[in-house]
Amino acid sequence: MKLIDKLAVLADAAKYDASCASSGTSHRNSLDGKGIGSAGGTGICHSYTPDGRCVSLLKILLTNFCIYECSYCVNRASSQVRKARFSVAEVVKLTLDFYRRNYIEGLFLSSGIINNEDYTMEQLILVAKDLRLKHGFRGYIHLKTIPDASPELLKEAGRYADRLSINIELPTQQSLQKLAPEKSLQGITSTMSRLKSGIEEAKEQHKNHTRISNQKTRSRLVFAPAGQSSQMIIGADDSTDGTILKTTDRLYSRYRMRRVYYSAFSPIPDASSALPLQAPPLVREHRLYQADWLLRFYGFRTDEIVPTQGTDAGMLDLHIDPKLAWAIRHRDWFPVNINRAPLELLLRVPGIGARTAYKITTVRKHRLLRLADLQKLRVPLKKCRPFIETLDHTPNSQLLEHDNLRAQFVPPVQQELALFQSTASMVFS
């Protein structure tokens, strides 16, 4: 098969991995006149495809042959899609050629499992090693680790990769057993633990090194400076949003993930009959991301974000964002006084983002705020007006007590459909 045809097959195979991050790694450049590339700081999205996703990395599989039978996966053993395999040299060449033309920030390499786990992991490492050592590549490398790969191989992968990831795939052990019988929660989480300790060891050494020599010198031990991440498939099993977010929370607190990605399972070519027929609406994925943000940056707990009782227990409201939904369930917290409330409370106000909340605390040291000031900070007044007090505004107390407060925020159905075009609903309606 020609290289350009392999590229088609192995990009097709890689597109269901949502991550394309290239940010937050160590600062590097090629000013020393050796090698090529730079990294560090914010990532760069070099392009966007019509699915709205950014293209930052060359995201491909080394091969889409695989002995695993994960029902949700386009590359599972029984899938009849075209199969191909890159050689190590081909991936290295493509990465460098793309990089030199400024198409990409680097490489995101994953693979189907061939022969066995360690063999596959070795192949991935060979690519990264070649790029780093032979070509002095200083761009970004994200390697997908293979479940159950040996600790020695993980260590080596961490030396060359900026980020390592292993997908949790499904929120519960039961779902994993049913839909991905070759994977086990235990195997996945033990890899996560190893990555975590590798990352922390390198960080610790770097810190100590800096402290002792009192100047910034390069620390010897390098291990995935951009941390680890994971991905969960939404809608392939019947787990509730509550279950999903609890798993997410565990991934953040126990394994110090930089990011957990959600991927609403979408129609794939040659699907397995073990999957539900209808894909979940894309808006569910969107709400989970919003909830994820509340967990990480807004001081919410999982049991606050998802309603624990009532008809919708365990599920996020698809029509309004999770913070607004929380506020409607907890009206006794409001109104919040914009000029006096502590930052933690400002963060709870619907429509006020983390940055805006911080900005408010800076401005109000010098000047008390009015509604017009909030407008200048681009706060959506319509959303937050019922919940706040400013110098010139006190919310109508009846409004906060109104039975149907939620109805004020729910957009008409048509608008909703246009906002989140889910192909499944387009096709079936």
Positions in 365-424 near other proteins (CB under 8 A): 365-367, 369, 373, 376-377, 421, 423-424
* Binding span for other proteins by CB under 8 A among 8-16, 83-91, 296-304, 405-413: 8-16
Contact between 16 and other proteins (CB under 8 A)? yes
CA dihedral 188, 189, 191, 197 (to 10 degrees): 160
What's the farthest any 2 CA atoms get from each other in the chain? 70
Cα 292 to the chain's mean position, in Å?
9
Binding mask 315-344 for other proteins (x = CB under 8 A): ------------------------------
Contact between 212 and other proteins (CB under 8 A)? no
Spell 127-144 as b/e; 16+ CB within 10 A means b.
Answer: bbbbbbeebebbbbbbbb
Question: CA quadruple 15, 305, 179, 122: dihedral positive or negative?
Answer: positive
* CB nearer to other proteins: pick between 28 and 402: 28
* CB nearer to other proteins: pick between 36 and 381: 36
Strand partners, 230: 260
Stretch 109-138 residues interacting with other proteins (CB under 8 A): none
Contact between 427 and other proteins (CB under 8 A)? yes
- What's the rounded Cα separation, in Å, for the pair 48 and 225? 26
* CB nearer to other proteins: pick between 179 and 327: 179
CA distances from 1 to 63, 66, 86, 273 (A): 13, 19, 10, 30
* CB nearer to other proteins: pick between 77 and 345: 77
- Closest distance to other proteins from the beta carbon of 161 (Å): 19
CA distances from 273 to 75, 112, 179, 183 (A): 15, 21, 11, 19
Among 150, 184, 219, 339, binds other proteins (CB under 8 A): 184
- Closest distance to other proteins from the beta carbon of 404 (Å): 30
Take residue 122 and report the two structure tokens written for it: 């070795």
* CB nearer to other proteins: pick between 51 and 238: 51
Binding mask 33-72 for other proteins (x = CB under 8 A): xxxxxx---x-xxxxxxxxxxxx--xxx------xxx-x-
Instruction: Give the orientation angle of helix 151-160 with respect to helix 185-213, to 10 degrees.
Output: 50
Contact between 83 and other proteins (CB under 8 A)? no
* CB nearer to other proteins: pick between 216 and 220: 216
Among 270, 303, 344, 392, binds other proteins (CB under 8 A): 270
* CB nearer to other proteins: pick between 98 and 334: 98
Amino acid present at 186? Q
- Closest distance to other proteins from the beta carbon of 204 (Å): 29
Contact between 82 and other proteins (CB under 8 A)? no
* Binding span for other proteins by CB under 8 A among 11-19, 84-92, 288-296, 329-337: 11-19
Contact between 267 and other proteins (CB under 8 A)? yes
Contacts of 114 (CB under 8 A, 6+ apart): 63, 65, 66, 67, 85, 120
- What's the rounded Cα separation, in Å, for the pair 278 and 276? 6
- What's the rounded Cα separation, in Å, for the pair 36 and 152? 28
* CB nearer to other proteins: pick between 281 and 307: 281
- What's the rounded Cα separation, in Å, for the pair 361 and 354? 11
148: alpha, beta or left? (left if phi > 0; alpha if psi -120 to 50): left
Among 61, 153, 164, 279, binds other proteins (CB under 8 A): 279
Task: Tell me the number of residues near other proteins by CB under 8 A.
Answer: 87
* Binding span for other proteins by CB under 8 A among 174-182, 345-353, 380-388, 406-414: 174-182
Among 134, 152, 186, 207, binds other proteins (CB under 8 A): 186
